[in-house]
Amino acid sequence: MKRLNTGVAWTGCVLLSCGFALAQGGRPGKVVENNYIVTLKAGAAPAAVAGRHGMSPRFEYSAVANGFAAALPAEALARLLNDADVDQVIEDREVEAIGKPSGGGTVLPAQVVPEGVQRIGASGLAYTGAGIGVAVVDSGIDLANKDLLIGSKSYSAVSRSAADDNGHGTHVAGIIGAVNNTIGVVGVAPQARVYAVKVLDRYGSGTDSSIIAGLDWVAKNAAAVSPVIRVVNMSLGRPGTLNDNPVLRQSVQKLVQMGITVVVAAGNDATKEVSQQVPATYPEVIAVASTSAKSGLSAYPGFGGIGVDTASFFTTDGALIPAADGTGYVGVTISAPGEDQEDVSSTGSITSIGILSLKVGGGTVRMSGTSMAAPHVAGVAALLQQKFAGALTSEGVRSKIANSASNLSAPYDSPTSTYTYDGDREGVLSAAGALAAP
C-alpha cells in the first residue's frame, strides 16, 4: 500500500507488510540526456573551452572546481573528450528533495515548540546560534517570512530569485532557525541566520550540476557574508555511489576543508543503505536518519503502537563502514526526528504525522522525511559553532554530536517488513549533550 493523503498525513504502508521502496519521487538518479559537467586543466578558461565546442554553459564553476555544466549534442561529445584542456566529462543526474507533505497549512494562534525540538532538548538553551550562518541548499527560502532571520545574500541556480516556490526549503529553514517570538514555531537555533541557496525548482527537482553551482556559491561567499556561513544543510539526494560524480564530492570536500560542516538527509528509501545514496554516502558529510519524536496512536487490535525513537518506516539507514576508497567512513552519524509520530489504523495502515515547521507565505505545515531530520542536526551544529566561536572543524562537530547521543538503544526497529536493522544503534540527537560534550 502506498498513497499520499494530502489532507492530514502521509500514509505509507501496512503494519508488518511494507513491500515497497519509498524513494524520493521515483525519478532521482536518472541521467539528464546530453547534459554534462566538465572539469578543466589548470589555467583553462571555462567560457573559452565551452565556446569552441558550441556550448553555452548553464553554470561556470571556479571555487569548488575549474569547469562548467552545459548541454552538448551527442555528436560533439567525442571532440570535447579529445580536447587537451578537458580533465573530466561527467554525466549530469537528477536530484530531488527528500521530504513529503504530511498535512495542510495553518496559522497557529500562538507560537509552538515543535515535537522534534522538544525531543532533542533544544528548547531554552543558553546558545541560540547567534552569529552563525547556515546555508540551506534546497528549493529556496520564503524571503519575506517574518519567523526567519534571512541572510543578506542569496543564490539561485534554477530561477531569477532564491525565493521558495516549492515549500520544502522554507520548512527545512524553519526547523533550523525559526525565531523565538510570538508566531509560528521555534527552531533549534532561533538566532542563526539562514542563507537561501536555491538548487531545486518548484517541483523539488534539481541536478548534480545545480547542486555544484550552489556549493560553488557557498565556497565563494561563506567568509564574505555576515554572519559567516559555518554550516550547510542539504535535505536532498539521489541513488548513487561514492564516486559516481567526483566533482560533486569534490565540492563537498572543498567546503569541509574550509571548516564548514555539511549535514545531509540519509534518504527516504528503507530498502537502501546510506552507501547507496548521494550525497549521504560521502564520508565528509554528517548523514542523518529519521526517527519518531514521540509515541503514536494505535487502533490495531493487539498492537500497542509505535513508540518514540523508532526508526521511521521510510528512513534509509546504514552502519558506519570504511569507505570503498579508504578515505573515511560511510554511514549514518546520528538519528533525529523526521516526523512527530506514526499512527496505526484499525486495518494496520501506518500514517506519518510530520514535523511542524514554516510554510511559504506564513503559517505552518507538516512534512515528513529525513529531510526534516537533517536540519535538526544542522541547527545543533550552529549551536556548537556559536559556543566555540566558529572554530570547530566538521569532524569536531560530528564527534560531539555522535558521542553525546541520547538513548543508545535507539533507533528502535520499525515493525514494517522493509526495515532491517543495520547493526548500529547510533542513538538520537541531543542538543544539550552535544554542547556539554568534551
- Active-site residue set: 138, 168, 371
Contacts of 17 (CB under 8 A, 6+ apart): 348, 416, 417
Contacts of 135 (CB under 8 A, 6+ apart): 194, 195, 197, 218, 222, 229, 231, 232, 233
The C-alpha cell of 243 is what? 564516486
Residue 395 to residues 161, 275, 336: CA-CA distances in angstroms?
33, 19, 18
Contact between 122 and 188 under an 8 Å Cβ cutoff? The reply is yes
The C-alpha cell of 363 is what? 503559517
Can you tell me the distance from the alpha carbon of 356 to that of 175, in angstroms, rounded to the nearest whole number? Answer: 8
Can you tell me the distance from the alpha carbon of 422 to that of 146, in angstroms, rounded to the nearest whole number? Answer: 41
Between strands 261-265 and 59-61, the pairing is unpaired
**What is the DSSP secondary structure assignment for residue 213, as one 8-state letter?**
H
User: In the beta sheet, which residues pair with residue 97?
Assistant: 236
Can you tell me the distance from the alpha carbon of 91 to that of 276, in angstroms, rounded to the nearest whole number? Answer: 18
Between strands 67-71 and 229-234, the pairing is unpaired
Residue 437 to residues 102, 119, 256, 331, 402: CA-CA distances in angstroms?
35, 18, 21, 22, 10
Q: Which residues of 337-346 are buried (b: 16+ CB within 10 A; e: fewer)?
A: bbbbbbbbee
The C-alpha cell of 252 is what? 563537498
Contact between 208 and 388 under an 8 Å Cβ cutoff? The reply is no
- Identify the CA nearest to 395 among candidates 387, 405, 403, 407: 403
| Sign, Cα dihedral of 41, 45, 47, 50 | negative
